[in-house]
Amino acid sequence: MDTNNKLNYILAPLGWHYNKPNPFSDAAFNRDWSGLFFLDRDDEQFLNGTDPNGLYCVRFGRRTRCLENRVADFLRYEYSQGRKTIIGSEYPFDIPRYLQHCFCQTPESSTIRETDPRYIVHSTNLQAWQSIQTDFTLRSPLNLRKNDIPYSTIGFRELKEPSEYEDHIHFGSMDAWHTEAIVLSQQKGQICTEEDTIYTPGVRIYFDNHKLIQNEIGIRDGLHTIKVRSKLHLSDYMVAAISVDDVDPSKAVEHWTPRHFFQAANDYFYRQFLRND
């Protein structure tokens, strides 16, 4: 057994798998634990969720983009939440040495990195956007419910994520369509990640990511592009809010898909807001 007292992680025994029982205790995993596991697969995919053994775990393929940063950010975030992280792998390699490399290569959260996009996106439905405009504040699901605003979180319950995830606003890269999956999934009532599914677009809200990072508001957890706790005042960080009315004022498009709207909104953003960049 190998531990790191500074970040409270512990190396799993050789051959242990993330869906197996806790190798260090007769008790099942609980919310005091998390897992980080290296998959023996040569792709960019990474997964997260809680397995039947009770362990919330993130699993990384060998080619996961910015893997070193993600590993360091995940371990730092888990430590900040008071969880002990068990680390294992499907293939043998020097994990302690690799982790040291990750920490050396990964600046603290408040440092802008070369891989940090300048702009990030949060997608929401039209009804929520109307509510947001009442005080120009974006709120986490937990904050919404504390203010008696109903909100159903798609994905949180299915993946059985840690409880504090609901008290964060999550953002994605503007160059990916995936934030539209939130709006799509809300309409379907379940997780849906088919980019060519017909849906009703809401609003793509664009933010200055570098400003969030510099002001130490952006939080890195190794999974999301960035996230913010509880609430965010749009006047300080919003660059644009784009809907169908902006990209298709004549209503020429009969059916929208997440991929189509993401592309149209981004094209509009580049034309209208980045002309002088």
- At 116-144, the pLDDT tens digits run 999 999 999 999 999 999 999 999 989 98
pLDDT score for 116: 96
175 phi/psi in degrees, rounded to 5: -90, 15
Q: What b/e readout covers 20-34, taking b as 16+ CB neighbours within 10 angstroms?
A: eebeeeeeebeeebb
The mean pLDDT of 267-276, rounded to a whole number, is 87
**Has residue 233 got a pLDDT over 80?**
yes
Strands 84-89 and 2-4, sheet pairing:
unpaired
**Has residue 94 got a pLDDT over 80?**
yes
Q: Looking at per-residue confidence, does 160 or 125 come out higher?
A: 125
pLDDT score for 161: 87
Q: Supply the mean pLDDT for the chain.
A: 91
pLDDT digits (tens, 9 = 90+) for 254-271: 999 999 999 999 999 999
**Has residue 77 got a pLDDT over 90?**
yes
pLDDT score for 1: 35
pLDDT digits (tens, 9 = 90+) for 30-42: 999 999 999 999 9
pLDDT score for 147: 80
pLDDT score for 152: 66
pLDDT score for 191: 84
**What is the value of pTM for the model shown?**
0.90
Q: Looking at per-residue confidence, does 154 or 82 come out higher?
A: 82
**Has residue 2 got a pLDDT over 50?**
no
The mean pLDDT of 238-260, rounded to a whole number, is 96
The neighbouring-strand residues paired with 207 are: 120, 238
pLDDT score for 130: 92
> CB neighbours of 222 closer than 8 A, spacing ≥ 6?
58, 69, 70, 71, 72, 73, 74, 75, 77
The mean pLDDT of 176-204, rounded to a whole number, is 91
Q: How confident is residue 149, by pLDDT bands cut at 50, 70 and 90?
A: confident
